Chain A
Amino acid sequence: MTEFWVMGGYARFVWPCFALAAGVLGWNLWSARRYYAAARVRVQRAIAMAASEQS
């Protein structure tokens, strides 16, 4: 098992690459969801403002 983590002496290059990849995939998912959620909130605010102006 230790042999696997050591990666033939290249662990300090291999594992950071996979960690960076996981980070980029995670960031993309998080930021895409956040972007959509923020756009939704903006529309909801616009609807609420329009409703309050009418009443």
Chain B
Amino acid sequence: MWTWFYRLASPPHVYRVAAFLAPWLLGAAAVLIGYGVVAGLVFAPPDYQQGDAFRIIYVHAPAAWLSLFAYTTMAVAGAIGLIWKIKMGHAVAAATAPIGASFTLLGLMTGSLWGRPMWGTYWAWDPRLTSELILLFLYVGVMSLRPAFEDPGRGDRAAALLAIVGVVNVPIIHYSVSWWNSLHQGATVAKLAIPSMPGSMLWPLLSMLAGFMFFYGAVLCMRLRGEVLNRERQATWVREAIKT
């Protein structure tokens, strides 16, 4: 029953599965993001309070959501590598870090552009914004720590440890709008039972969220293949795979 799971620890298997999945995930992402952009920009009505500025949510919320998801993935993968000494765990963590960092930066920048017309400022030391900025620093720390060691194994372990310690920031970011007084608006999508948006606004957002997730999966698979080659370049199977 668990054979499929154990096989994920095998570099040649991961290399092949990633090659198979990447184009499918990318295709699904293109369709979902394409629909989300058109429906969000053209068909969704303007918000009664924020006007057309609310449309920034279609890139801001998926980027912010992905920044948390990618960090959690990185921490879990790092923990798998650290606890069970599975090399692929560290490879996934290393492949995830730059993707997560780029989406964190996108979340911060789009949030800043949204903040200017809504709050009158590009930046405020608000709990949500500050904790998201700390997340970006954590990503940068993890990415810098790995190559800082001569022994790649030690670099992997140090980066995994930092990722695991930093995961405490994820619930802080999520609940910061409830725990403290915040300029940032409360949950919009998380409470699907009582939606804060009509369907014409919500469906494009859900489509963008799913599209960004599929995109993340596709790019992760592509990076992971490179990561596997870098780590396994002395292995016979890599040389045979490259020759063919």
Contacts and interface: CB of A to CB of B under 8 A. Distances in A.
B225 A25 contact: no
B230 A42 contact: yes
B145 interface: no
B37 interface: yes
Contacts of A44: 242
A28 B99 contact: yes
Nearest to B215: A25
Given A17-B56, A17-B60, 11 more contacts: A7-B52, A8-B51, A9-B52, A10-B53, A17-B113, A18-B59, A28-B219, A32-B222, A42-B233, A43-B238, A47-B239
> What DSSP secondary structure best describes chain A's contact surface?
helix
Contacts of B60: 17
19 contacts: A7-B53, A9-B52, A10-B51, A10-B52, A14-B53, A17-B110, A17-B113, A20-B113, A24-B63, A24-B106, A25-B215, A32-B222, A35-B223, A36-B226, A38-B226, A39-B227, A40-B226, A42-B229, A47-B239
A48 to B, nearest CB: 11
A55 interface: no
Interface residues of A, number: 31
B242 A13 contact: no
B94 to A, nearest CB: 10
Nearest to A7: B52
Given A13-B56, A13-B113, A43 B63 contact: no
Interface of A: 4, 7-10, 13-14, 16-18, 20-21, 24-25, 27-29, 31-33, 35-40, 42-44, 46-47
Interface string B201-244: 00000000000000100010011011101100110001100110
Given A44-B242, A46-B233, A10 B117 contact: yes
B46 A8 contact: yes
B99 A13 contact: no
A53 to B, nearest CB: 14
B55 interface: yes
Contacts of A37: 226
